[in-house]
Structures are given as structure tokens and as C-alpha cells.
Amino acid sequence: MTEHTVRKFDADLRILTNEISTMGRLAQSQIADAIDAMSKHNVRLAQQVRAADAEIDALQREIESKSVDIIARRQPVAGDLRAIVGALRIVTDLERIGDIAVNIAKRTEALSNARWPKGIKIRLRKMVKLTIEQLSRVLDSYARLDATQAVDVWRKDKKIDALNVAIFHHLLTDMLDDASNISFGTQLIFSAKNVERVGDHATNIAESVYYIVHGSVIPGERPKADQV
């Protein structure tokens, strides 16, 4: 590329990065609101979460379109091409996080005003807080192309897995003690699993950041602690 073309490419990439950051903030807000709606049985908030998913989908389409246009106009190679490919991977994960938020929001009506097992709200909120922190940190690592921080996020995903396992066993015990808790407990198990999947997508993003920076996968096996 000529110096002029490089400057243009860098400007295009900054626009993509800013739009991905916007999409990431929306995804974080969606997950937090979905869990808040479920725990407080706030049907109106759950409906807002479902409606807002269209904004995330629209951002995904816009970013994908711009990425294809950049490839066509700039014909990037090597690290520049990895930056575009990595961006496309990241927006796919963020769009799926938005879908997960919608899935959680849909359970709000199904959960009605049933009794929550003691301590589950606290554990679930702790899990959500950690998941959102992971997502925030990995998006920051993308904005700064900080592969070291991305790897740290990748390694800490097992903490989310461990919380999911704890919630699963807690709810299973509650259902075995009282069969009337089975329907409600099952919904909560699926909701916690959805939050754990958000952590997996944050880990995917960490791998994309590492790929953009180094052009390879993160060495070693992905840390997991989700055996139930």
C-alpha cells in the first residue's frame, strides 16, 4: 500500500473498531437487562431487551458490509487482512450474545412470580457481573490490540464455568427436594447456561484478538471448568 492508502485503511479500521465497541456496549447492556428483568419479573424490561436486538443485528450488517467494502477497495494483506477477518469474527460473537439476551428475556414471562431458591439470585448476579467484566475487558483488549489482556480473559473463563456448575447443582438439589420446583428450576438452569455461553463468546473474541495480533491461535487448550 502507498502511504496515502495506509492512512485511509487506518481510518476505515478505526471506524470499524468504534462501531464494534458500540455493538459491544449494547450486548453488555442487553445481558444485564435480561437478567435484571428475569430476577425482578419485569416483563416490560424483557420486552425492551427483545426489541433492542434489532439494533445489534443492524450494526452487525453494517459492520460486515463495511468490512467487505474495505477488502474490495484496499485489498489488504497479512496483518491488515487479519484485522478485517478478526473484526468479522468478533461481530458474529457479539450478535450471538444479543440473541442469548433475547433467549433469557423470553424466560421472564415463563418464570412468573415463582419462588427463587435461596441464594440463587446472588450467585446468578455474580455470574453475570463476572461475565460482563470479561466481555468489557476483551473488548478493551480489541480496541488496544492487547493480546496479553486477551489471553488473561481467555484463561479466566473457567471462573464463569465454575459458577454455572455451582448454580446447576444448587438448583438440582432444590428440584430433588421438592418436585414443584422442577419447572422453575429448569428455566433457571437454562438461563445460567445462557450466561455461561456469553462467557464462551467473550473467550472467542479473545482468540480473535490474539489472531489479529499474532496471526495464530492461543497456545494450549481452552481452560474449562464446566463438568456437571
Nearest to 47 by CA among 106, 6, 5: 106
In a domain, 110, yes or no: yes
In a domain, 225, yes or no: no
In a domain, 187, yes or no: yes
70, three cell numbers = 474495505
Tell me 222's DSSP state. Answer: P
In a domain, 219, yes or no: no
The answer for residues whose C-beta is within 8 angstroms of residue 219's C-beta and 6 or more apart is none
Distance of CA 174 to the CA centre of its chain: 29
Q: How far apart are CA 13 and CA 83, in angstroms?
A: 8
- Number of structural domains, the chain? 1
What pLDDT is recorded for position 225?
67
In a domain, 226, yes or no: no
CATH number at residue 113: 1.20.58.220
Task: Please give the chain's pLDDT, 228 residues, in tens.
Answer: 556 567 888 898 899 999 999 999 999 999 999 989 988 889 999 999 999 999 999 999 999 999 999 999 888 888 899 999 999 999 999 999 999 999 999 988 777 666 788 888 889 989 999 999 999 999 999 999 999 999 999 999 999 999 999 999 999 999 999 888 888 899 899 999 999 999 999 999 999 999 999 999 999 888 776 555
In a domain, 222, yes or no: no
Look up the pTM and report it. 0.92
Q: How far apart are CA 207 and CA 44, in angstroms?
A: 36
Provide the domain limits for residue 14: 3-214
201, three cell numbers = 463468546
